Amino acid sequence: MTGSNQPLELILARNLMSSLAIPSFLVDNAGMLVFYNAAAGELLGKRFEEIGRRSLAEWSADHAPFEQDGREIPTEDLPFTIAVRESRPVHRRFQLRADGGPPMEIESSAVPLAGASGCQGAIVVFWPVSGA
């Protein structure tokens, strides 16, 4: 995410997320991954600087979110997609593979970012479920 071509809400959100201790990432209103913080990088196995911006399809393919029973979760049903599409907060528990590792159960909450011209994207926080 660079410079003035990004909505102010995304720039400010990125600054805030840089100081959060909880894993979090930022998507724009098209669902493009535009940033994740150091805590997310530790959990996912790669720093954001190593992978850069990702499309919705690339992000989902890289991390393969799925249900407890192994069914893949369609991208349109993930918290960040719903938060952006419906401009409302969303919470969900699901499984995730990070960097080709074993599956981990996580909880994820997505909160839309409102701007003068509508939803600008979403901040998503996520964390491993204890004992999973």
Q: What are phi and psi of 62, to 5 degrees?
A: -65, -30
Cα angle 71, 75, 79 (rounded to 5 degrees) comes to: 100
User: Any idea where the domains of the chain sit in the sequence?
Assistant: 3-128
**pLDDT tens-digit profile, the chain (132 residues):** 444 588 899 999 999 999 999 999 999 999 899 999 999 999 888 899 998 999 877 876 777 789 989 899 998 999 999 999 999 999 999 998 877 778 899 999 999 999 888 899 999 999 999 754
Domain 3-128 adopts which CATH fold? Beta-Lactamase (3.30.450)
pTM: 0.87
Residues 6+ positions from 85 with CB-CB distance below 8 Å: 76
